[in-house]
Structure 1
């Protein structure tokens, strides 16, 4: 069993590049795999490995400048959810593309999972899902607004076009683990929205703490690792991944027209060219050969650069 650790923290790193090497070396030495993103605004990512290795990485991170209050969320995976370890330098640890946004200055009101249902069921509250369209497609909270954005970078433009819909409403926002809401609530405050709330710890914390029989959550929660989705109690969900478009699919989707393992699914079959599909078939062939040798092909890995925590 592998310990999966999702984390993020906003703090000022004057020289993120100087942090990369020691952090990568530590992860490799302790059998930890996954993705960590470093930027001037902090750190974000998801890693997995033996609990002793994860503990060593967390101790290292908490010793970094401004990271003593780093928070994280643990879950478990039966199989290693990442094939390799990546520590990447980025302009932002979650990309919104708004230079003036700074969660260290101000964010919305945190709402504990135990209090979330009461808030979102209030008639004067509009609930907004800040995640990507393919994430929302497999699960969301009852009554939530889906902006249908393909990436978090699109959220500010969506808000500008739709803000009049939410006149005289309190705004409640949520995402997988909280990081996107740190930025989106700061952004809404800068736009003059006075009452903004967000789910503390995100969907993952809600699914961990709120009993299924009391839940306002519907469906599964997409995660950026080999499990693809989780459900209440953070148990592994039913979804697989189309390795052509990186969207989640259910087992029954493999029987739908357009599905070819590693090449296309019903969601993307019309989005790629014949040349693309030929390239994907060759990649899938290499993955199958690696599997036959008892190895894991690197291209079978799941990207871990989404919400992180």
Structure 2
């Protein structure tokens, strides 16, 4: 029986003084362990998506956490039957996720976060612990939201994250007096969004700790409909953190893969790529 592939996702906002010096270290370690995926190194932190055998992943995580900068980095796991990446890439970027605003300054602290279990309780009861209405704010791109999101979430239909500051400013009055929970796939965008919103004067904003993937891991799919888009060959994960299954086209009965389901024609209900 074939051993499963272990997929990990992790990030940490932490000042990295010399990303160019770190790049070959990460690349050599991943090549030695036959890991595939992408690692982003930036002055404001690290973001990684890697896949490999159980042993290789465990060795890499031990190696990573031996570096004091990443000793407490949180790792999210899921399994797949096939390797979802074609190669290993270690990239140097200016930001972990581009917002085109001042960089995150980790030394100043994180944005307030809400645990998945607490968020589920808030959504169950319809308000936070202070009695304020809870608003879910999706910080992802529109095509990701179309795959799945929380019930009754606010979706600004952005095409890229750098649009977020302007669009949230234009809806400021609609969010007044509410507890806002920003969320994304794994936590990077919602953390950055929450910090930005704090800096511009929103007084009750949280990030969903660990994003949708951690929510799935800890509480399942409660108050969430659809799947979660991921940026690898699996395309999307369900609430059990398993790859989404193909669906049958009602017109031609062909099996339509999760990635093909994102085509504009299929979303509009007109035809699938096989018709």
Query: Please, what TM-score do these two structures have when normalized by structure 2?
Result: 0.85
Q: Hey, what's the Cα distance between the residues in 2 that align with 1:183 and 1:103?
A: 11
**Relative to structure 1, is the Cα distance of residues 42 and 101 closer, same or farther in structure 2, using a 3 angstrom cutoff?**
closer
Is 1:134 the counterpart of 2:143? The answer is yes
Q: Give 3-state SS (helix, strand or coil) of 2:189's partner.
A: helix
Q: How does 1:1-309 map to 2 (within 5 A)?
A: 1-120=4-123, 121-122=126-127, 124-212=133-221, 215-238=222-245, 239-242=257-260, 248=262, 256-257=270-271, 259=273
| 2:138–2:154 contact (8 Å) kept in structure 1 | yes
Higher relative contact order (CA 8 A, sep 6+): 1
- For residue 257 of structure 1, report the CA deviation from its aligned partner: 4.0
Name structure 1 gaps, 5 residues minimum. 262-309
- For residue 241 of structure 1, report the CA deviation from its aligned partner: 2.1
Q: What is the root-mean-square deviation of aligned Cα atoms in Å?
A: 2.2
- For residue 60 of structure 1, report the CA deviation from its aligned partner: 2.4
Q: Hey, what's the Cα distance between the residues in 1 that align with 2:50 and 2:238?
A: 19
| 1:240–1:249 contact (8 Å) kept in structure 2 | no
Q: Hey, what's the Cα distance between the residues in 2 that align with 1:129 and 1:190?
A: 19
| 1:107–1:185 contact (8 Å) kept in structure 2 | no
Which range is displaced more, 128-137 or 50-59?
50-59
Task: Give CA deviations for 1:100-138 in whole Å, capped at 9, x if unaligned.
Answer: 543542333221111212324326222101111011011
Q: Give 3-state SS (helix, strand or coil) of 2:17's partner.
A: coil
Q: Give 3-state SS (helix, strand or coil) of 2:234's partner.
A: coil
Q: Hey, what's the Cα distance between the residues in 2 that align with 1:200 and 1:232?
A: 16
Q: Give 3-state SS (helix, strand or coil) of 1:14's partner.
A: coil
Q: Hey, what's the Cα distance between the residues in 2 that align with 1:233 and 1:193?
A: 34
| 1:174–1:199 contact (8 Å) kept in structure 2 | yes
Q: Give 3-state SS (helix, strand or coil) of 2:31's partner.
A: helix
- For residue 198 of structure 1, report the CA deviation from its aligned partner: 1.9
- For residue 161 of structure 1, report the CA deviation from its aligned partner: 1.2
- For residue 211 of structure 1, report the CA deviation from its aligned partner: 4.1
Q: Hey, what's the Cα distance between the residues in 1 that align with 2:242 and 2:272?
A: 29
Q: Give 3-state SS (helix, strand or coil) of 1:71's partner.
A: coil
Runs of 4+ aligned structure 1 residues displaced above 6 Å come to: none
Name structure 2 gaps, 5 residues minimum. 246-256
**Relative to structure 1, is the Cα distance of residues 132 and 155 closer, same or farther in structure 2, using a 3 angstrom cutoff?**
same
Aligned residues: 253
- For residue 8 of structure 1, report the CA deviation from its aligned partner: 0.4
- For residue 86 of structure 1, report the CA deviation from its aligned partner: 0.2
Q: Hey, what's the Cα distance between the residues in 2 that align with 1:248 and 1:91?
A: 30
Q: Hey, what's the Cα distance between the residues in 1 that align with 2:192 and 2:239?
A: 26
Task: Give CA deviations for 1:31-62 in whole Å, capped at 9, x if unaligned.
Answer: 10000000111110201011111122222222
Q: Hey, what's the Cα distance between the residues in 2 that align with 1:257 and 1:51?
A: 40
